[in-house]
Amino acid sequence: MKNTLLLITTVAALAASAFAHERITIGPKGGRVIYLDSPTVPNVEFAVNKDGRAEVALLDKDRKPIALTGQNIIVTAGPRASAKKLTVEKQGDTFLTEPLPAGAPYTTVIQIKETPAAKALTARVEYDPTPAKSGKPAYLDDSVNESSGPDIQVPDSLEGIFGLINQHHGELNQNFTQKKYEALDEVTQAFPVLLKALPAKAGNKQAVVQTQVDGLVKNLTAIAQANAARALPSARADLESFQTGLVTLKKNFPDKVANAAPPE
């Protein structure tokens, strides 16, 4: 058991080091979502309107706008040599800045304070309004999400499926440990799609594999919920259960297939 778990962990670690998913998450107002390490303000949404003014909304764990009461933000934007703090006003549940400086692309920094005495949270967004191939501004070009998350393409072969499972297992461990919330979001969306393809390819073990997959998907759901709430320690037991369950699941398939390398 220890040797099997060590092999799975090694394969997963190598997979995580070789692959990473670029991800752009779009919020309810059509802006770019920046993930924060905060249970009270887990997300910030950033967009630039037709007047060139930044619109910033604070979002809860369900990515719904948080009502603005005593919160304040500082927005710093512009090329590095001439970046400046922008004037900000509140309009409903959104902060609105003065027009952004010319010279993009550049990094825009948003500092959020829930109260005057609170420690500031910092969000950074690479503001690049250059049109991408999709026609959207580059900073909002979510076409980079194609074939990832819930839209991941499932390979035809069993070995191909396990190659992606091993890749995502490595990413799951790494992103959980390092609190890479956006990347972990993608992994917990893609993983169930891959796992659910296994029972149909398990031959006479289909019923057993289906039960095991259901348990693993339940673990992933709990991890995803804890991730959204920025409460990952509460899902540690689910992560450990997932590790053990994946070991058990792989025993239903030949070792060479179950420990297949990720695709190049």
Q: Among positive and negative, which fits the CA dihedral 160, 162, 168, 170?
A: negative
On whether the CB atoms of residues 68 and 93 are closer than 8 A, the answer is yes
Q: Find the domain containing 38 and state its range.
A: 32-130
* Model confidence pTM above 0.75: yes
User: Token pair for residue 5?
Assistant: 């778990």
Q: Are residues 153 and 253 in the same domain?
A: yes
Same domain flag for 7 and 67: no
- pLDDT value of position 22: 63
| Per-residue pLDDT at 7 | 44
What domain count does the chain have? 2
Are residues 11 and 96 both part of a single domain?
no
* Residue 95 and residue 75 share a domain: yes
Residues 188 and 239 grouped into a single domain:
yes
Q: What is the DSSP string of 56-103?
A: EEEE-TTS-BPPPSS-EEEEEES-GGG-EEEPEEEETTEEEEEEPPSS
The first and second tokens of residue 151, run together, are 């839209």
- Could you tell me if 47 and 114 lie in one domain? yes
For 135, residues 6+ apart whose C-beta sits below 8 A from its C-beta are: none
Cα separations (Å) of 259 from 77, 206, 234, 242, 256?
A: 47, 19, 29, 16, 6
Return d(Cα 152, Cα 231) in angstroms, integer.
26
Q: What is the CATH number of the domain that holds 223?
A: 1.20.120
Q: Are residues 154 and 248 in the same domain?
A: yes
Is residue 182 one of the residues assigned to a domain? Answer: yes
pLDDT at 6: 42
Which tokens is 245 given?
A: 């369950």
Shared-domain flag, residues 94 and 164: no
- Which pLDDT score is estimated for 264? 75
- CATH code assigned at 75: 2.60.40
Same domain, 163 and 246: yes
Q: Which residues pair with 216 in a beta bridge?
A: none
Where do we find the tokens 């979510």?
A: 142
Same domain for 195 and 98: no
Instruction: Please report, to the nearest 10 degrees, the dihedral formed by the alpha carbons of residues 247, 248, 249, 251 taken in order.
Output: 90
Let me know whether 212 and 235 are in one domain.
Answer: yes
Instruction: Output the pLDDT for position 173.
Output: 97
Give whole-number Cα distances, 68 to 73, 75, 93, 190, 235, in Å.
11, 16, 6, 34, 30
- Size of the chain, expressed as the number of residues it contains: 264
- Give a yes or no: residue 135 inside a domain: no
Instruction: Quote the pLDDT of residue 147.
Output: 87
183 and 254 both lie in a single domain: yes
Q: Is residue 263 part of a domain?
A: no
Series of mean pLDDT values for 10-residue runs along the chain (264 residues): 43 43 87 97 98 98 96 97 97 97 98 93 97 96 91 96 97 97 96 98 97 98 98 98 98 97 84
